[in-house]
Amino acid sequence: MRKAVLLLLMITGQQMLSAQKTASIVGAGKEINPYKYSVVKKANFSKAAVSSAHPLASMVGVAMMKNGGNAFDAAIATQLTLAVVYPGAGNIGGGGFLLGRKADGELIGIDYREAAPEKASRDMYLDKNGNVQMALSQSGHLASGIPGTIAGLFATLPYAKLPFKQLIQPAIDLAEKGFVISEREASSLNATKESFSKSSTRPTAFVKENKWKAGDTLIQKDLAATLKRIQQKGAPGFYEGETAKLIVDEMLRGNGIISLDDLKNYTAKLRSPLAFDYRGHRIISFAPPSSGGIIIAQMLKMIEKYPVSSYGFQTTKSVQLMIEAERRAFADRAEHMGDPDFYHVPVKTLMSEAYIAQRMSDYYPDKAGISNMVKAGAIKESEETTHLSVMDAAGNMVSVTTTLNGGYGSRTVVGGAGFLLNNEMDDFSVKPGVPNMYGAVGGEANAISPGKRMLSSMTPTLVLKNNKPYVVIGTPGGTTIPTSVYQAIVNIIDFNMNADDAINKPKFHHQWLPDEVAVEKDFDIEVKKQLQAMGYKISERGAIGRTEAIRILSNGKRETVADKRGDDSVAGF
């Protein structure tokens, strides 16, 4: 009897505990008020910090760390929140990469990149004349790979401390009760209205009769129900049962090919992170199927033997050198990189000192290289994504880049499930030599094959100084991702900049093909003219990247910054 009472007490106690644990922290007057919040671009925090694309997402991540969680808890909760408050790129219908370094030095790489469905085939986007049907790889049902995000979050969970139920609760509340949208979100939803309607077969929360305006509340009931199924059932709440059925029903109503088996068989994969040294710092980044880690290693190693700091920040001399490194690394991307489970990526060679020295042997500091002549090295051995950077009090560092690919992905909302599917299939090389949405070309290494993961540019990165945590960094931006991370690292290490300047100064980008340099509007006009005189074709473009960075100062404070280019915002304590 006493035993039974004790048991009853224990059960009630546990129920109370879990009820308490999943109690809402979101709502008017609560810890996080979704009806009144503001963007914070930078702050120095003593213990823990998050920088992400949305103020509410950063605040939720920080709340988890305040309530006993670590950086991994924050990364999970922030991603789930982004899936609600930042539908253009935050997602449960897409994929991503998580790069972590535990306080004890253990490195963790979780690959939850989308995979091609079983029914996918190499020429699936070519018409009978062999021409690419871009519309099919970029929007609508056929553009989606099998979503990886929920598998990725559950693969992260063993490194976290709090129950998943608690980590997902704020996202559920935000979807169910709504949150106030910004001017930027309103105009972005308005601009996408037609393609939501064209690519979705059921009414969606993103389309309303009148125009969205800043201050409107976005409520997503179907998404809340999906998140609750995941809360109750774990990953099978997404990959099996009701949600899986809703995804497949949506596929059947469109021209999609994702099947119940595709969903059930999807797994996140552990990937050993890539690490290399640059001017006395240890840089850690993501391995294939990301091209990012290899590309930043190549670019930094190519410029390391030059006294870049003495050239000066964004002088013609330093920019020209950095462009030539970009050209060469991107030529290698097109030829040698793809899913390592399907294609042998010669990672060691591509990152070796000898290979990199040879790649720069035809570099001339006074004239533009020519991409047609800078082919990929011979190897003998055979806009919309989002980033979050997290650092906790114990010294765990987490860098996550996650994506639907284009803004709002395929624009297909899963009927009854309320979330957007990715258009990641376009990241494959749909036909050798034909540029994708980001102008990237590829061939055999990145050809479509069932179960294969499409090559990515996402580059979640960590930097150590004296073997201690120094910088957590990453960005969206398609092929401009590795160049943005590269330039921010050079700004910090070579030009001694603080994190704010390092991410917010103008950027330039060369990706081998097309053979031109894209620069942001505020790029120095004189340097531009001098580069043109050397033979560079230069085009101006909109914002490059939205980088989120945390840098540890010598006094231990976390200098936390969010890119000026969006609603990106920091939080911490």
Site residues (vs ligand DON, CB under 6 A): 383-385, 403, 405, 424, 427, 456-458, 476-478, 481
Q: What is the DSSP letter of 77?
A: H
Beta-strand relationship, 274-278 and 517-520: unpaired
Backbone angles phi, psi at 88, to 5 degrees: -65, -25
Cα gap 141→144, rounded to integer Å: 6
- In this structure, how many other beta carbons lie within 10 angstroms of the beta carbon of residue 494? 23
Looking at beta carbons only, is 200 or 405 nearer to ligand DON?
405
**Of the two residues 176 and 384, which places its CB atom closer to ligand DON in the complex?**
384
Whole-number Å distance between alpha carbons of 99 and 107: 8
Q: Has 385 been annotated as catalytic?
A: yes
218 versus 458: smaller Cβ distance to ligand DON: 458
DSSP 8-class letter at 210 = S
Residue with tokens 């990715």: 422
CB of 407 to ligand DON, least distance (A): 7
Contact 191, 146 (CB under 8 A): no
> Hey, what amino acid is at 96?
G
**In terms of CB distance, is 374 or 458 closer to ligand DON?**
458
Smallest separation, CB 221 to ligand DON (Å): 28
Q: Least Å distance between CB 424 and ligand DON?
A: 6
Angle between helices 221-233 and 71-85 (to 10 degrees): 150
| CB of residue 292 to ligand DON, shortest distance in Å | 8
**Secondary structure letter of residue 426 according to DSSP:** G
For ligand DON, give the closer residue by CB, 79 or 385: 385
φ, ψ (nearest 5 deg) of residue 348: -60, -45
Nearer to ligand DON, 178 or 477 (CB): 477
- Closest contact distance (angstroms) between CB of 546 and ligand DON is 8
- Residues 198 and 205: their CA atoms lie apart, in Å, by 14
Residue among 215, 216, 217, 245 at smallest CA distance from 229: 245
Distance CA 234, CA 218 (A): 26
Residue 268 three-state SS: coil
Phi and psi (nearest 5°) for 533? Answer: -65, -25
| Closer of 377 and 482 to ligand DON (Cβ) | 482
Nearer to ligand DON, 376 or 481 (CB): 481
Quick one: the chain helix, strand, coil %, rounded to 5? 40, 15, 45
Smallest gap from Cβ 387 to ligand DON, in A, equals 9
With respect to ligand DON, which residue has the nearer C-beta, 339 or 384?
Answer: 384
**H helix runs in 339-479, sequence order:** 347-350, 353-359
By C-beta, is 227 or 519 nearer to ligand DON? 519
DSSP 568: -
**HEC readout, 292-356:** HHHHHHHHHHHHHCCCHHHHCCCCHHHHHHHHHHHHHHHHHHHHHCCCCCCCCCCHHHHCCHHHH
Give me the catalytic one of 22, 226, 385, 461: 385
Peptide bond into 289 cis (omega under 30): yes
8 A C-beta contact, residue 117 and residue 257: yes
For 367, which DSSP code?
S
What are the start-end ranges of the H helices in 337-436?
347-350, 353-359
Shortest Cβ 256–ligand DON spacing (Å): 19
CB of 403 to ligand DON, least distance (A): 5
The Cα–Cα gap between 49 and 392 comes to 6
CA separation for the pair 548, 561 (Å, rounded)? 6
Q: CA neighbours within 13 Å on the CB side: how many for 448?
A: 23
Least Å from the CB of residue 334 to ligand DON = 13
**In the complex, least distance from residue 339 CB atom to ligand DON, rounded to whole angstroms:** 12
Would you name the residues annotated as active-site residues? 385
